[in-house]
Amino acid sequence: MLAPYCEGTSADQLVVRLGLEAADWWAAHTQATCQRGSLVLSPTRDRAELAQFAGRTEGYVKVDGPQIAALEPDLADRFASGLYFEAEAHLAPRAALAQLRAGLVRDGTHFVQDEANPDDYARRGITVDCRGFQARDTQRDLRGVKGEMLVLSCPEVTLNRPVRMLHPRVPLYIVPRGDGVFMLGATMIESSSAAHISVRSVLELLSAAYALNPAFGEAEVLEVGVDCRPAYPDNLPRIRRDGNLISSNGLFRHGFLLAPAMARMVADLIYENIIPEVMDETPG
């Protein structure tokens, strides 16, 4: 999701501000984005969550039941109130990366897949280390935050935009990927293990999807995803420099949202010697 305003409910304003660059950037460089806003809903019982979310974010309009039904006909009569963030967008991450890569190859970039020590490359010239959690060997204060997600096929349901469902125990977001495919995310567990998804997480994610629309009960599970988000103690990104080696890391759960701004700042540092606002001079 490219949802900077929604992230403002718990993330620092830096994330919101840098994230505002994302939707336009991805739209300009790929055909994988879709700008139809995002919808935030809560079951009637948990409407206090919606009020709190509204109080901590901006860039939305309040919508009632008929307005929700107009935006998302398959959610008609299921929710009485919500928030519509019109300026937000979503993208198909794998398609976006593939298109980005194809464009770079067309422009003459060579991709080499190899296991290597970033220091070896740095001896030969400017090297940018973007390995995420794998950079723990040099970024000692990086920790892993486990995230789990599911990909479902449910042709009976149509959603036009990402929907975030607030719940005190199991918040959920669901992103339509087209052709009846949906991504359900995502847990956040203080763990550096990306080995397996737990039964509890599967139950919680699927139960929340079912609560959004019972038709998801008939969905097929296409994929289970588990990975480790790289995070510094304040959950904010950092750029660090040690001679020729530049580290760009700590994007936490905001990889696609912050990547354009981080890449811009790294490029400005290399080519213009402009110190990034997320520059961190302390060693990792």
Partner 1 sequence: MRDFYGSTLNTMFMLGTAQYPSPHVLADAFRRSAASVATVSLRRESGRDRAGQDFWNLIRDLGVHVLPNTAGCHTVKEAVTTAHMAREVFDTKWIKLEVIGEEDTLQPDVFGLVEAARILTEDGFQVFPYTTEDLVVAGKLLDAGCEVLMPWGAPIGSGLGLNNLFGLRTLRAHFPDTALVIDAGLGLPSHAAQAMELGFDAVLLNTAVAKAGDPAAMALAFATAIQAGHLAATAGPMCPRDMATPSTPVIGKAFLK
Binding residues for partner 1 (CB under 8 A): 10-12, 52, 55-56, 143-144, 146, 168, 189-193, 198, 231, 233-236
Q: Which is nearer to partner 1, 8 or 260 (CB)?
A: 8
In the bound complex, what is the minimum distance in angstroms from residue 124's beta carbon to partner 1?
Answer: 32
Q: Which is nearer to partner 1, 171 or 260 (CB)?
A: 171
In the bound complex, what is the minimum distance in angstroms from residue 59's beta carbon to partner 1?
Answer: 17
Q: Which is nearer to partner 1, 33 or 57 (CB)?
A: 57
149 beta partners: 225
In the bound complex, what is the minimum distance in angstroms from residue 46's beta carbon to partner 1?
Answer: 12
Print the SS3 string covering 237-269: CEEEEECCEEEEECCCCCHHHHHHHHHHHHHHH
Beta strands 90-91 and 238-242, pairing class: unpaired
> How many CB atoms within 10 Å of residue 214?
11
In the bound complex, what is the minimum distance in angstroms from residue 48's beta carbon to partner 1?
Answer: 9
Q: Which is nearer to partner 1, 11 or 184 (CB)?
A: 11
Q: Which is nearer to partner 1, 8 or 82 (CB)?
A: 8
Q: Which residues does 128 contact at the CB level (< 8 Å), separation at least 6? A: 246, 247, 248, 266, 270
For residues 159 and 36, is the Cβ–Cβ distance under 8 A? no
In the bound complex, what is the minimum distance in angstroms from residue 113's beta carbon to partner 1?
Answer: 27
Q: Which residues does 238 contact at the CB level (< 8 Å), separation at least 6? A: 232, 247, 248, 249, 250, 278, 279, 280
d(CA 221, CA 191): 24
